[in-house]
Amino acid sequence: MLSGGESILVGLSGGPDSVCLLSILHNLRDSFRLNLSAIYIDHGIRQEETPAEIGVCKKLCEGLNVSFVTRFIDVKTHAKAERINLQEAARHLRYRIFEETAYELKADKIALGHTADDQAETLLMRLFRGSGPTGLSAIPPVRGRIIRPLIEIGRKEVEGFLEGEKIASVLDSSNLRQDYRRNRIRLTLLPLLREINPDIIETLARTSAILREEERYFELIVTKTIMKLFSRKTERRVELFLAPLEIMDKVILRKVLRRAIDETTGLRGISFIHIEDMIELIKNGASGDRIYLPKGIRVIKDYATLILTSEPPVRLGNYELTVPGETILGEAGILIKSSSIEANELEDDTSGIWKFYASFDEDKLVFPLSARPRGDGDYFYPAGFGKRKKLQDFFVDEKIPRDERNRIPLIVSGNDIIWVVGYRGDDRFRVTGETKRVLKLELKKLRD
């Protein structure tokens, strides 16, 4: 954690753990040539206790000749805005302030007072939540510039040190409230586990350490693997080559998918159960299948790639068709070529009708024709169906994915849909034995 000569920002709450941490680092200051500063973060929650805590921290820092700063975070507002609980909101803001203050003070390290008890509690919390090995690795002793020097020290040892050195600390009353899951584990579950195993804290901490070592080994394998899998990558979209994923062992595949998600800002927040759904899609899904996850995230199994994206679905613009001529529909990635021919020139080939081309009785059409996306209340008379049908119902029956529906072009004559491009034409405008002139529309896909 330390090699000597570092500038260290210590997270100081006034509680036993952080007070012990600052005191020990002060004892090591001369031999390690350390430059110490401390920060107290006011969460805006326990206003009646905050002044006393700041007083204890300030007095301690003055006695140790350590520079001391306080910062305020509005946890309640952040929790409401992000729709998360208070503890999660406090953690988000707290770590942000640690990093910002360390940058301001040019601190090399941020030292936090987590102990072996915190490690054990975290492991149990994540076990009950259903976390995998990465989550059960619990709190990392070192992460970036953050260090946790007391992570292998039990809380009883911390309290014994403070008592022996006659160093004052304060008790955070929220640590006694059993409406927090961590507190229930600390106050109710761990005492029961100690009856079975008096060394339960050390046992759980050791388990976390073992899992952490194994995770480091797997991370090396994942790092080597994933660099060969990226096809494309942006902040909100990842495309991975599909073939290697389909034959990959699930143990590695889980970690590869997790890494790809963690490296993409717009995809973070996917849970373990979603990873399992993704694996099922990769192993057993058909091309074009997709799953919809929270926060607008979509996972699509394409022909050659697996696409993970939080980008908003593309919506087609409005176009006027050039007749005769060509019209590019950019959002759909296609070109519509139109031509007018005599009815007797129409080839008797229905193999690609509606999917790649469509033919209509020109005299029944109202020009100019336009191409637009779907709208509320749209309907048409699907060829071969015999009656009117809502476009929404047609999309559902055709199993067209929700995120694709807004980019499917509708060719419109007046107010009538004559062709759901690539799917079906309207029966009212079909070519019959009485048709004299035919408008032929052909679909051509544009290259990426």
Q: Is pLDDT of 11 > 60? A: yes
Give the pLDDT mean for 13-29: 95
- Give the per-residue pLDDT at 448: 52
In the numeric block, which tokens belong to residue 183? 């507190």
Give the separation between CA 208 and CA 134, rounded to whole angstroms.
9
Say if residue 180's pLDDT is above 80: no
Distance CA(145)–CA(189), nearest Å, equals 33
- 371-394: average pLDDT: 95
pLDDT tier at 179 (50, 70, 90 boundaries)? Answer: low
Mean pLDDT of 320-341: 94
**Model confidence pLDDT, tens digit, residues 24-37:** 999 999 999 999 99
Domain 319-445 top-level CATH class = alpha beta
Instruction: Tell me the one-letter amino acid at 2.
Output: L
What's the pLDDT tens digit per position in 261-281?
888 878 877 777 899 999 999
For residue range 42-101, list pLDDT tens digits in order: 988 878 889 999 999 999 999 999 999 999 999 899 888 888 888 888 889 999 999 999
All CATH 3.40.50.620 domain ranges in the chain, comma separated? 7-211
Residue 405 · residue 395 · CB < 8 Å: yes
**Residue 366: how many other CB atoms lie within 10 Å:** 11
The pLDDT of residue 174: 66
Q: Look at residue 136 in the predicted model and tell me its pLDDT.
A: 86
- Inform me whether the pLDDT recorded for 129 exceeds 90: no
Find the mean pLDDT for residues 171-199.
83
Buried b (16+ CB within 10 A) or exposed e, 56-69: bbbebbeebebebe
Asked whether residue 333 carries a pLDDT value surpassing 80, the answer given is: yes
Q: Tell me the DSSP string of 211-276.
A: HHHHHHHHHHHHHHHHTTTEEEE-SSEEEEEHHHHHHS-HHHHHHHHHHHHHTSGGGTT--HHHHH
Report d(CA 107, CA 54) in Å as an integer.
21
pLDDT at 177 over 70: no
Given CATH 3.30.460.20, say whether it is the number of domain 227-309. no
Return the pLDDT at 273: 86
Dump pLDDT digits (tens) for 214-233.
Answer: 988 998 999 999 989 999 88
Domain 7-211 falls under CATH 3.30.70.260: no
CATH 3.50.40.10 domain position(s) in the chain = 319-445
Query: In the chain, where does the domain assigned CATH 3.30.465.60 lie?
Result: 227-309
Q: Are 397 and 445 in contact (CB under 8 A)?
A: no
267 vs 337, more confident: 337
